[in-house]
Amino acid sequence: MLLYANLDRRQKLELFAAQRAKEEGGVRNFPIPFEHDIKLVPVQLSKDFFRSKAHKGHGHYNTREEFELIMKEREGNITITKVFEHAKEMAMKHSSRQGNPEAKEKFVMQHGNTVVLVGQAGIGKTTLCRILVQLILEKKLLPECKYVFFLQFRKVDFESKLTYPQLILPGSDLASGDTPISDESIMQILGQGEEVVLIHDALDEANTKSFSNMHPLPSDTKLATADVHFKRLLLARLLPKAIKVFTSRPKQFMEMPSELRPLCVVDVLGLNKKSQEELCRQICQSEDVCCQVLKYLEDNPDIAASCYVAAKCILIMYILSKRIEEHNKVDVESLTDIFIQVLAPYASSDHLRGKEKDLIQLAAFALKGFLESKIAFSEKDIKHSGISDEAFEAFLVTFTDSKYKVQLKILEGHKESYFSHLIWQELFTAIHIVFFMPLEEVEQQIVHFQESRWEVVAKFVYGLFNPKVYAEALRIFGVEDDLSAEPKMQRLTDFVVNRMRDVHPTDTLELLTLCSWLRELNNSKVNNQALSHLPSSLELTEKILPTDLPSLIYGLRSASKPIILRVDSKQGK
């Protein structure tokens, strides 16, 4: 307690809060535990958040529709240091709709001090929170701020009744020592001025059911469950003058009652090309390796498109750099190949020893959620999945591979659980279809591959039957003799061949989809069967994205006959 000697209550609270925020916000959760320092790179932000699109979305961010947005230069129109000014401006602008001065003041108080950072998993929301903490503590942003608090929703107990100080400073010893500070004193100090910043990360990982209704709040809110405190914060009934920051995934944010949704919502766009290149240089350290990785990504824009998401960017670039260091080349054939390479050391590690069957159950669990369009899972869902409690905890804990030093965490959250990145749900869905689903059910599901929601899963299914990837996946899941593999492969072959036979010369999107499947599969026998039906003359009537080119070129090169390709000049190059 010597640290707090000769400090009054305000100084003691300020110092303690700063230390706690620095501890919680200073940990960088990279998907790779680098031995050298990795500096944070800029993340692009936009003031233009399209609420209807966010609410409609299934949460799958690797579809062609999403890539069309990704391929545009991802430049933001606001910086993290300007979001609070933007919140004030928006609140003042919209306050004119309020009836009287009192209502206007209340409206500005509620919306002018609150910002929500919205974006998909791994895009950089938590990183932005940590940047905010760092800038505030260094007095480079909001220099008048004295009390900054950083709280992650995944660590919050939503069952117990607590005071708000107990919630934001769990396990503190402020009530002891020469200058004890009670919870009442903390609330008095924090409630007196505009010197408080409250940063709450991952709202979507809270018990979302408690936020889905607007039942009257209890009259006694001093001791209450966490959702009551957070609702009062969002309604400006608790610490109304404090600056508040929340982060969330788009869909979960839009499912909250409109009364709770702040006016200022900033869209986290991810990494632009410049940030990706800067990150690549830091990861590779060698300029030669970095150039090879960037060249590979330039030649494979369908894989490069995933690099706008910081977590995926780090993972992809790290795996590519390690393959170059070990084999002097990038022997990676597809996105499926990359993720199977990441999964391999995870599945064979001590981390999952004795839980191999649970990994298989996880694939069935992923499929069930996908079929039900569910990305958030309750404790009841987990219990009914057949996954053991021990394995579930293992999936929640970050694993570090000793060879590649790849960190991997499949699931996140406890009360409400998610796949750490939605692409894992899609991959495990495909794994169940390929290795564990009965042939009759596979035949029923294949017909859905033409639906847009199945776009990524279908690519993974064909990618898993790539001979190189298939052999590795067999080893991972301990499948010794899969008697259904050959008939499943035949059904998939028949499906792509029949669809290629029906391709109209001007049906660009269908052609691109089928070529992407063939590229993931990379099987010359299937290529010959399917591409023999390719029309001898094609007219590209749709806009061609950079992510489409590798698949289109693969299909044309693999065809056994010359193809005349006409490009509609209205669509551009």
Q: How far apart are CA 132 and CA 531, in angstroms?
A: 53
Cβ-Cβ contacts under 8 Å for 257 (sequence gap 6 or more):
211, 212, 213, 214
Token pair belonging to 523 = 């099987």
pLDDT for position 397: 58
Q: How far, in Å, are 114, 286, 347 from residue 221 at the CA level?
A: 21, 57, 47
pLDDT for position 30: 53
pLDDT for position 551: 87
Cα angle for residues 504, 507, 509 (degrees, 5° grid)? 145
pLDDT for position 187: 92
pLDDT for position 5: 56
Within the chain, which residues score under 70 in pLDDT? 1-6, 25-37, 50-74, 175-178, 206-212, 351, 396-409, 412-416, 418, 481, 568-573
Question: Could you report the per-residue pLDDT of 519-565, keeping only the tens digit for each?
Answer: 999 999 999 999 999 888 888 887 777 778 888 889 989 998 888 88
Q: How far apart are CA 160 and CA 382, in angstroms?
A: 22
Token pair belonging to 308 = 């706008």
Cα-Cα-Cα-Cα dihedral sign, residues 155, 381, 426, 408: positive
pLDDT for position 459: 92
Pairing of strands 537-540, 564-567: parallel
pLDDT for position 404: 45
Q: How far apart are CA 331 and CA 285, in angstroms?
A: 20
- N-terminal to C-terminal alpha carbon distance within the chain: 68
DSSP 8-class letter at 121? T
Q: Do 531 and 558 meet the contact criterion of CB atoms below 8 Å apart?
A: yes
pLDDT for position 62: 56
Q: Do 559 and 534 meet the contact criterion of CB atoms below 8 Å apart?
A: yes
Angle formed by the axes of helices 335-347 and 455-464, to 10°? Answer: 70
Token pair belonging to 563 = 């193809």
Q: Do 484 and 474 meet the contact criterion of CB atoms below 8 Å apart?
A: no
Q: Do 204 and 31 meet the contact criterion of CB atoms below 8 Å apart?
A: no
pTM above threshold 0.85: no
